[in-house]
Structures are given as C-alpha cells and as structure tokens.
Structure 1
Amino acid sequence: MTPAAAGSGSAVPVGRAVHVKVPATTANLGPGFDTLGLALSLYNELDVEVLPTHGLEIAVEGIGAEDVPTDTSNLVVRSLAHAFAWAGVELPGLRLTARDAIPHGRGMGSSGAAIVAGIMAAKGLLDGIVEIDASRALALATELEGHPDNVAPALFGSLTIAWMTPDGPQHKRLMVHRGVSPLVAVPAGTMSTALARSLQPQSVPHEDAIFNVSRSALLIAALIQSPELLLAATEDKLHQSYRAGAMPETDRLIRLLREHGLAAVVSGAGPSILVLGSDPAQRLRAADLIEEHAETPWESLLLAVDFRGATVVPHSTHAAA
C-alpha cells in the first residue's frame, strides 16, 4: 500500500508495541569523509507502545539521559513524526522508553542512532498499513540527518559506502574482514558536529583531493580483504588537520598512535578516537598507549563490527532479537 492510499484514516491499533535496537556508528574512517561509515557493537534500545489517548510519555535511561528532552523536541519523536507524516498516517499517542548506551557528542553517531530508532519504530508500528522499505528508511533518515554516512551503517550494519544522487541517498553494504578489530577511545569532553563542520575549508588543493581518493579506495580493500594495509589506508588530508585545533588532545593522541604503527583516526566529528586494529592485539596496545599518555580521562571501548544494523520486532518477542 502506498502512503497516499493509506491516508490519515489508517489508524495504528492501540496497544501495538515494538522494540528497536540501533548500533553506534563511526563515520569518515580517516579519508572517507562524508562517505564511509562503520556500525559498532554498542547499542541504543527503544520500546514504543501505542496509547489509547493522544500525547507522549517519554522515559530515558542510560548515558546522557539527563540531557535528552522528553517532549516533542526529542529527536526520536521528531523522527517518528517525520515517518508518519510521509506515510500520511496520524501520529497516535505513544509511550517511549529509551535505554541509551551511545555517548552523546563524541563522534559515535548518537544523533543518527536516534533518527534511525524513530524511523524503525515507525516501520514496526505501521506494519500492515504502510511499508517503509530499506531505501525509504534511508531517505527519511537522511532528510533529518542531512547526510547519509552515519545513518546508513546504523540502518544496515557493517561497512557502508553512502552517496547522494538526484533520486536521493544510496548505499552499498560490504562485509568487513574478520581480522579488523575496532577500538573507540572516548574522552570526557564533547564536540559539536556543526562546529567541526564549520572548520572545514570551502575548497581543498587538487593534490589533497587526489590523495584522499587513493586512500579511500585503499581503505575499502584494507577493510574487506587486507587489514595489514589499514595504517596507510587511513591517511587523510581533507578534514582532520583542519579540526585538530578544536580538539588538541585527540590530535596529539592520534599522532602518537600512528607513530606506533596503529591506524588511528578521528571518529566521526570527534573528539573520540577510532583505532582500526588489524588484530585484537593491536587495539590492546592502543588502549595501553592512551592510558599511559592521555592527560585527561579517556575510556577505551573494545568493540566489534556490528553486521546486523538496526532491528525492530514486536515487543512480545524482542528478547529473541
């Protein structure tokens, strides 16, 4: 059924409930600015139930819960409403319970995860009324996020290449070599994505663009086939150096890690650090170096690549997901 055919008369049954699980993501991966993203095994979870009356009941638990709004400005709610508006179905009264594990403002895709959680919740609630397929979910999420590099891996898992076309955002999902071992080092401080983007120049030298094209191509090969090439493949000249002054300790630690042969880059907009180890021992070395040389508190998260992406299931069976 198309959204136009569904219309506002197709009400969602009272009591329908779904459980959503969305992975953290890390974007750019060094040279793949606004194009490459990787899903990680750290998750936000969301339960949504349709109420018999209008209005919202929102409870948020976990990391950063005290800073998350519990009204219509909540990003999950805005995303849900966006999907329902596209579907032409009136947004019912809802009870939302969110359990967040993804740090906010640290370059781990927290806003993308919130947007994807709302889209997936809408997909589950609208089951049998309006279909939200994979391409539509990506389009709706990108409309809110502004770019697809975080929402694509959050939706589909693994490594994603995302790009824009006149017909909307597109993506390609690739399987990651089993030897790739991610670590994300998370500092106490945050970084605004808007601020990070404002530090980018409007144009870059031709040779820098060529440099990043070559490294981005090499990075795909390193991630899916040849992890031993990760150090060379994660070199970048398009964005990290321009943002370094806004997060000096991040920059200093990345330089240190790379001097020790470790493929360290800024995670997303920062200030977290992503280390792509070619084996588990490399990321343990990275964690030790950060602990030894950091001047402020950092938490090293030893994560796996998430291969499943976002999921939504009826609430009564979510434990099996």
Structure 2
Amino acid sequence: MIKVKVPATSANLGPGFDVLGLAIDRYNIFTFVESAESKEENLIYKSYRRVFEYLGKPLIPVKIQVNDNIPIARGLGSSAACIVGGIMGANEILGKPLDKEDILKLATEIEGHPDNVAPAIYGGLVVSVMEGDKIHIAKLPIKNKLNFIALVPNFELSTSKAREVLPKRIDFKDGIYNVSRVSILLTALATGDSGLIKLGLQDKFHQPYRGKLIEGFDEIISAVNQKGALGCYLSGAGPTIMCIGPGEDNRLIKDIQEYVKDEYPAWEVFVHKVDNIGALSYID
C-alpha cells in the first residue's frame, strides 16, 4: 500500500500572479492499492498513468482512495494536489525513478502552470518561472512565524471562470505597480518586516476583476485589516480570501472567526502555518 501526503497551496499572494505559490499545512492523503479491477478515470489516475507513459513502463492498475481535506474549486490547490498525488504515487510504486524536477515537469504539463504544483512538491514559498519548456523555481524564506487564515466561501469558483474576467492587456503603469509590490512583499517576508506585507499584497493584475465575483470581497478585506491582519489577498483564482496574521496572535484569529460567523455564517475559517516540506510518499 502506497500513501502520498500533499499540502494545500495558495497561489499568487496578491501581485505574484501565476508566479508565487505557498504550501500550507492542510493535506490530502492518497492511498494506492494494486488492483486488477481498477477502472479509475479522474485527475489523480490520469496523473498516475502519465508517469508510466513518460517512462515507457507497462501500467500497474491500482485503486485509489482519497482522504480529502482540501476544498474543491476554492483556490487552495485541490487540482494540484490530485496531480502531484497521482504522479508521486506512481513514482513510489516504480521505485522512485523520478526526482523532484521530473515530478515538477510532469505536474506542470498536466496542470498547465507551476504556481500551485511547485509549492505542493517543494513546500514553503516558491517562485516559478517558465522559460520555454524549462521550469525554474526558487524556494524563498519566510522569517517570521505567520498564521495564514483562510476564509472559505460556501460556493465554488472554477479557474476557467476566474480567468474569463481578466483583461486581455494591462497598462504599463500597472505592470510597474505589481513589480514594485511583489518586490516589497518578498522582502517583507524574508526580512520579517511585517509592516510592509499589506503594501506588498496590493495588486492590479487580477484581484480587482476577480474580486467582483465574490460578494463583499472589498468589505471583508477592509474589515479584517481593521481587526489587525497584516494583509489579505485572493487565494489562487478564489473564492477563498487568505488573511495573514502574526503567528502568536490568537486574538486576531478569534476576531476573524466571530466576524465571519456573524456576517457570513455559511463560510468556514481555517487557520494554517506554512508547510516547508512539501509532498511526501511512503509505503504503509
């Protein structure tokens, strides 16, 4: 029996559109059991099967069970977790012929972009850059212990729908705006200058457009910031709103939980730390 543990991920982090991704300590666990009766046809199995095709190996059929803790279509990397889980399950069964770079290559091929799959594989805060078919990643430090407080709505928002509302072109000044903010954000996280995080999360590429798909988006961020959050951003394509707070500040967590319970009672609030390890596979 093979098991694979894959963290949830939060992409973009405001201005880092399609570039930044962060792994957090919420996990899907995938169990693979060899079975001649397997008739699986889903993203996990598609990713599992792709490894055998890539290596030119005969397919070993399996049944897959999922302990599913990452909400689907909420901007927390559920599809990336399925892809990475499937690839790493196959890799473990075959004796681990693939290294992390190979896994990243295949995962990006299936997902179409690396901003979620990269942190799912490597853990931590990851910058991903595509250069033709080559993927470059850099894992960056986060100095302070921070809480990542996810405000998870009771509705789904597909990535395809969230991309439909994006502009076809951006102004030059908006490009400068985002480059400056992402530079400040990475500096703030690396140096521990938490006072700059809110500035660093500002964005003009996607949040002004995607935020309109979420009722109360601007009001929620304003309210949570007033309660003492270090900043908030739309996680991935949404609809989850991720709020950052000091790691030791339990009061802020309670205030946010009470606010959401009063104003958006159907939403959920998850409190997370950064996962710095990434996906793990093992024989159980």
- Report the TM-score range of the alignment, normalised by the length of the smaller protein: over 0.9
Match of 1:189 in 2: 155
Instruction: Give the whole-Å Cα distance in 2 for the aligned partners of 1:30 and 1:175.
Output: 18
8 Å CA contact retained: 2:7, 2:26 = yes
1:259 deviation in Å? 4.6
Instruction: Give the whole-Å Cα distance in 1 for the aligned partners of 2:191 and 2:253.
Output: 19
1:286 deviation in Å? 3.1
Which of 184, 188, 195 is equivalent to 1:218? 184
Match of 2:259 in 1: 289
1:29–1:283 Cα change, 3 Å: farther
Match of 1:44 in 2: 28
SS state of the match for residue 177, structure 1?
coil
Q: What is the letter of the counterpart of residue 247 of structure 1?
A: I
TM-score, scaled relative to structure 1: 0.83
1:261 deviation in Å? 4.9
Greater mean alpha carbon deviation, residues 17-26 or residues 225-234: 225-234
8 Å CA contact retained: 2:227, 2:255 = no
Correspondence 1:252-291 to 2 at 5 A: 252-262=219-229, 263-281=231-249, 282-291=252-261
The number of residues matched between the two structures is 280
Query: Does residue 308 in structure 1 map to residue 277 in structure 2?
Result: yes
Describe the superposition over 1:245-267 as per-residue Cα deviations: whole angstroms up to 9, x where unpaired.
21123343123323555301111
Match of 2:123 in 1: 157
Correspondence 1:102-121 to 2 at 5 A: 102-121=70-89
Correspondence 1:60-209 to 2 at 5 A: 71-72=40-41, 74-127=42-95, 131-209=97-175
Unaligned runs of 5+ in 2: none
Greater mean alpha carbon deviation, residues 28-37 or residues 225-234: 225-234
Q: What is the letter of the counterpart of residue 203 of structure 2?
A: D
Match of 1:298 in 2: 267
Instruction: Give the whole-Å Cα distance in 2 for the aligned partners of 1:284 and 1:225.
Output: 27
Instruction: Give the whole-Å Cα distance in 1 for the aligned partners of 2:21 and 2:185.
Output: 12
TM-score, scaled relative to structure 2: 0.93
Q: If you compute each CA radius of gyration, which structure gives the higher value, 1 or 2?
A: 1
Q: What is the letter of the counterpart of residue 260 of structure 2?
A: I
8 Å CA contact retained: 2:207, 2:234 = yes
1:286–1:269 Cα change, 3 Å: same
Instruction: Give the whole-Å Cα distance in 2 for the aligned partners of 1:273 and 1:179.
Output: 20
Match of 2:16 in 1: 32
Greater mean alpha carbon deviation, residues 134-143 or residues 294-303: 294-303
8 Å CA contact retained: 1:135, 1:170 = no
1:280 deviation in Å? 3.5
Q: What is the letter of the counterpart of residue 152 of structure 1?
A: A
8 Å CA contact retained: 1:230, 1:278 = no
Greater mean alpha carbon deviation, residues 282-291 or residues 219-228: 282-291
8 Å CA contact retained: 2:144, 2:189 = no
1:96 deviation in Å? 1.4
Percent identity, please: 36
8 Å CA contact retained: 2:5, 2:28 = yes
Q: What is the letter of the counterpart of residue 286 of structure 1?
A: I
8 Å CA contact retained: 1:275, 1:283 = no
SS state of the match for residue 80, structure 1?
helix
Instruction: Give the whole-Å Cα distance in 2 for the aligned partners of 1:181 and 1:96.
Output: 32
Match of 1:319 in 2: none
Match of 2:212 in 1: 245
1:296 deviation in Å? 4.6
1:99–1:215 Cα change, 3 Å: same
